[in-house]
Amino acid sequence: MGKENPKQHQPSLHESTHSLKGTFIAVMLLGIFILVAWFGFYALFLSR
Amino acid sequence: MATNQLPLAKKDARLYMAFMYVTYTALLVGGLMGLLQTLARSGKYTLPFNINYYTILTVHGVILGLVLTTFFIIGFQFSLMEKTVGISDKQRKVAWLSFWVMVTGTIMAAITILIGEASVLYTFYAPLRAHPAFYFGLAFVIIGSWIAAFVNFRQLYVWKKAHKGQKSPLLAFMVTINMLMWFIATIGVATSVIIQFIPWSLGYAETINVLLSRTLFWYFGHPLVYFWLLPAYMAWYAIIPKIIGGKLFSDPLARLAFILLLLFSIPVGFHHQLTEPGIDPTWKFIQVVLTFMVIIPSLMTAFSIFATFEITGRKKGYKSLFGWFKKLPWKDVRFLAPFIGMAAFIPGGAGGIVNASHQMNALVHNTIWITGHFHLTAATTVILTFFGITYWLVPHLTGRRLTPRLNKLGIIQTFVWTVGMTIMSGAMHIQGLLGGPRRSNFSEYAGGEQVATWINYQIAQTVGGTILFIGILLMVYIFIQLTFFAPRGVEEFPIAEEEKNAEPTPKILENWYLWIGITIALILFAYTIPVFDILKHSPPGSPPFDWPIGRG
Ligand SMILES: [Cu+2]
C-alpha cells in the first residue's frame, strides 16, 4: 500500500508455476488423522 | 532486511540476554522438580528432607509454565521488535523496568513456594490458600509483563508514524497481537488476584467465591497457552522459511491466522470448566463452539508450513510428490528442533480437540491424560521451538557462533527430548485413559483393582522424566557454551522475506480498532450472562484451607 514500496505497484502475478500437490495431500492426511483420532476416542467414550 | 547480519548494540543485547538468563535458570530448577515428581510417583523413592510433593509440584508448574515461558517470550519479542521497528533509549529503559518488576515478582513467589507457604499448584485454585506474598509476587510478574507490552505497542506506534501508509513488518505485527491478547487475558487473573485472593489471604475477607475465581483464572488460562504458542508460530511463519532457504509463503495469511487466534483465544475458558457445576450448559456449549474455531488458523498454519517446504524444495528442483521433504536441512538444529515441535503438535492438537469436546472431556478430566497433553503441546511443541530459536538468538546476542560441534550437541539434545517425551507423555496419556489421576502424589488408593494397572505407566514416566532431565542438562550446557565460550563471530538473525511479486496485504488486516472491537464483543457475548449468573446464584463463599496442602 505504501508509496515508498514500489514492488506493490507492479501487477501481482503470484508464481503459480510451483505445484502444491504435496501440500494438498499432506493437509488432507492431517485432517483425516484428526477425524480418525476424534472418532476413535468418541467410540471409547461410548463404550464406557 | 539488511540489518539481520549485523550484531545488535551491546546495550540492547544485554537486555535481551537478561531475559534468557532467567529462562535457562528456570529450566534447570523447574526441570529438577519435574524429575523429583516422576521419581516420587514411581513409589520407589521418597523425597529427601521431608520435602512436600505439592511444594515441588507447585515450583515445577509456576517456574516452567509461568516464569520460563514469560521471560523467554518477552525477551525474544523485544529482539524481534528491535530488528523490525527499532527501540529508543527511553523504550529500552522502560523495558529494563519491566524486567526488574518481573524478577522481583518471581523471587517473591519462588521463595514463598520453596519455604512451603504456597503449595497451591500453579492454578492456585481457591479455597487452597497461599501466603499473601505468593499472590503479590504473581501480581508483580503480570504488571512487569504489562510494562513490556506497552513498550512493544509504543515501538510499533513510533514506527508507524515514521512510515505513514506502509504496512507494519510482519513480526512486529505478530508481537503486537500476542501482547494485546496477553494484556486482555491477564486482566482477568489480575482482577481475581487483587480483588479476591489478596484480601482473603490477608484475612480482610472471610470467604472467597470459588467459582468466580476459577472462571477468572480460565478466562486467562486458555489465552495463556496461546501466549506460549504464538511466539512459536512467529518462528514457524517468519523465521523457519529463511533457515531452509525459502521465502515467506503469504504475509496476509499469516496475519489473518494471528487475528483469528486473538479473536478465539479468550471467550473459550469454559472448556476447562466443563465438569464445573454452577455454569449453564448452554454457555459451555457456546464456548466449546468458539474453542473449535481455533482449528481454522491451526490448519491455515499447517498448510502454510507445508507449502513453504514444498515451494522451497521445488525451486531447488525436486520434482517428485514428496521429494522436497527429504531435502529439508535435517542436520541444522535451528530447523530440526522446531520441526519436531511442529510434528508433536499434530497429536497434541488432536488431543486438544478431544479435551474440548464436552462428552469426551468426561473421559479425561482430572486424569493424567491432561498432563500428558500439555507436555506434548507446551513442553514439546513450544519448548523445542524455543530451543530452536536459542541456537541462533543467543550467539547473535553474544557475538559468538553456533559451531558444528554445538549444532551436533543440539541435534542430540533434540533426539533425547523426543525420546524422553514420547515415553513420558505417551505413558501419561494411556494411564489417563485408564483413570489415573493427575496432580496427586504416589498412592496405592487402598489397593483398588484399577489402581494396579497404573503403576507400570508411572514407572515409564520416571524413565521418560529422567531422560528429559538429561536433555535439560544438555540444553543448559549448550546455553552456557553459546553465552560464554563459543568462538567469536557473527550468527545470523534469520527473518524471511516476501516474494518479490507477492500480492499486497489488505489494509483491513491492520485495522486495530476493528479486531480489538470484535475481540471485546466476543468476550462480552461469551462471559457477561454466565458471570452475572455466577455472581447472583453462587453458594456461600469458602473460608481458606491451609491443609492438607496450601501452607505449612
Ligand atoms: Cu484451553
**pLDDT per residue rounded down to tens, chain B (552 residues):** 445 666 778 888 999 999 999 999 999 999 999 999 999 888 888 888 878 888 899 999 999 999 999 999 999 999 999 999 999 999 999 999 999 999 999 999 999 998 888 888 889 988 889 999 999 999 999 999 999 999 999 999 999 999 998 999 999 999 999 999 999 999 999 999 999 999 999 989 889 999 999 999 999 999 999 999 999 999 999 999 999 999 999 999 999 999 999 999 999 999 999 998 889 999 999 999 999 999 999 999 999 999 999 988 888 877 777 878 888 899 999 999 999 999 999 999 999 999 999 888 988 999 999 999 999 999 999 999 999 999 999 999 999 999 999 999 999 999 999 999 999 999 999 999 998 888 888 887 878 888 888 889 999 999 999 999 999 999 999 999 999 999 999 999 999 998 888 888 888 999 999 999 999 999 999 999 999 999 998 888 888 888 777 776
Please, which residues have CB within 8 angstroms of residue B188's CB and are 6 or more apart in sequence?
B216, B217, B219, B220
Name the H helices within B367-511.
368-376, 383-398, 404-433, 455-480
- Rounded to whole angstroms, the Cα distance separating B542 from B544 reads 6
What cell was used for B225? 497457552
CB of A26 within 8 Å of any CB in chain B?
yes
CA B483 to chain CA centroid, Å, is: 24
Using a CB-CB cut-off of 8 Å, the residues of chain B touching A43 are: none
What cell was used for B152? 512493544
Cβ distance of A38 and B321 shorter than 8 Å: no
Q: Which helix (H) or strand (E) holds A20?
A: none
- How confident is the model at residue B1, as a pLDDT? 40
- How confident is the model at residue B282, as a pLDDT? 94
- Rounded to whole angstroms, the Cα distance separating A30 from B520 reads 32
- For residue A12, name the pLDDT band (cuts at 50, 70, 90): very low
Cβ distance of B306 and A15 shorter than 8 Å: no
Pick the CATH number of B8-497+513-537 from 3.30.300.180, 3.40.30.10, 3.40.430.10, 1.20.210.10: 1.20.210.10
Using a CB-CB cut-off of 8 Å, the residues of chain B touching A23 are: 303, 306-307, 309-310
- Upper half-sphere CA count for residue B32 (Cβ side, 13 Å): 9
- Rounded to whole angstroms, the Cα distance separating B406 from B105 reads 34
- For residue A4, name the pLDDT band (cuts at 50, 70, 90): very low
C-alpha Rg value of chain B to the nearest Å: 23
Using a CB cutoff of 8 Å and minimum separation of 24, what contacts does B443-449 make? B444/B43
Using a CB-CB cut-off of 8 Å, the residues of chain A touching B343 are: none
Q: Which of A30, A33, A44 to mutate to test the interface with B (most CBs of B within 10 A)?
A: A30
- Rounded to whole angstroms, the Cα distance separating B380 from B415 reads 12
CB of B247 within 8 Å of any CB in chain A?
no
Nearest residue to B245 (alpha-carbon basis) of B303, B301, B300, B316: B316
Q: Are B109 and B134 in contact (CB under 8 A)?
A: yes
- How confident is the model at residue A3, as a pLDDT? 41
Q: Are B552 and B117 in contact (CB under 8 A)?
A: yes
Q: Which helix (H) or strand (E) holds A19?
A: none
Q: Are B169 and B152 in contact (CB under 8 A)?
A: no
Cα B427 to ligand 1 centroid, rounded to whole Å: 22
Cβ distance of A1 and B165 shorter than 8 Å: yes
Given B295, B307, B501, which is nearest A12 (Cβ)? B501
Q: How far is A47 from chain B (nearest CA, A)?
A: 11
- For residue A7, name the pLDDT band (cuts at 50, 70, 90): very low
Q: Which of B168, B310, B342 to mutate to test the interface with A (most CBs of A within 10 A)?
A: B310
Cβ distance of B166 and A19 shorter than 8 Å: no
- How confident is the model at residue B254, as a pLDDT? 95
Q: Which of B168, B301, B342, B353 to mutate to test the interface with A (most CBs of A within 10 A)?
A: B353
Helix crossing, B210-238 with B383-398: angle to 10°? 60
The domains of chain B are located at 8-497+513-537
E-strand spans in B178-324?
none
- Rounded to whole angstroms, the Cα distance separating B233 from B338 reads 10
Using a CB-CB cut-off of 8 Å, the residues of chain B touching A42 are: 357, 359-360
Using a CB-CB cut-off of 8 Å, the residues of chain B touching A37 are: 347, 350-351, 353-354
Q: Are B182 and B223 in contact (CB under 8 A)?
A: yes
Closest chain B residue by Cα to residue A38: B354
Closest chain A residue by Cα to residue B500: A7
Cβ distance of A34 and B500 shorter than 8 Å: no
**Average of per-residue pLDDT values in chain A:** 74
Q: Are B420 and B471 in contact (CB under 8 A)?
A: yes
- How confident is the model at residue A17, as a pLDDT? 60
CB of A12 within 8 Å of any CB in chain B?
yes
Q: What is the DSSP letter of B246?
A: -
Using a CB-CB cut-off of 8 Å, the residues of chain B touching A8 are: 504
For residue A11, pLDDT over 70 is answered with: no
Judged by DSSP in three states, B367 sits in strand
Cβ distance of A41 and B505 shorter than 8 Å: no
Q: Are B388 and B341 in contact (CB under 8 A)?
A: yes
Burial B486-514 (b: 16+ CB within 10 A, else e): beeeebebbbbbbbeebebbeeebbeeee
Note if the bond before B127 is cis, omega within 30 degrees: yes
The residues of B carrying an active-site annotation are 222, 226, 373-375, 438-439
DSSP B316-328: TT--STTHHHHTS
- Pick B189 or A12 by higher pLDDT: B189
Name the H helices within B264-382.
281-292, 295-315, 323-326, 333-356, 358-364, 368-376
Cβ distance of A38 and B350 shorter than 8 Å: yes
Q: What is the DSSP letter of B42?
A: T
Residue A42 to residues A29, B165, B351, B357, Cα–Cα distance (Å) = 20, 51, 12, 9
Determine the longest span between alpha carbons in chain A, in angstroms: 64
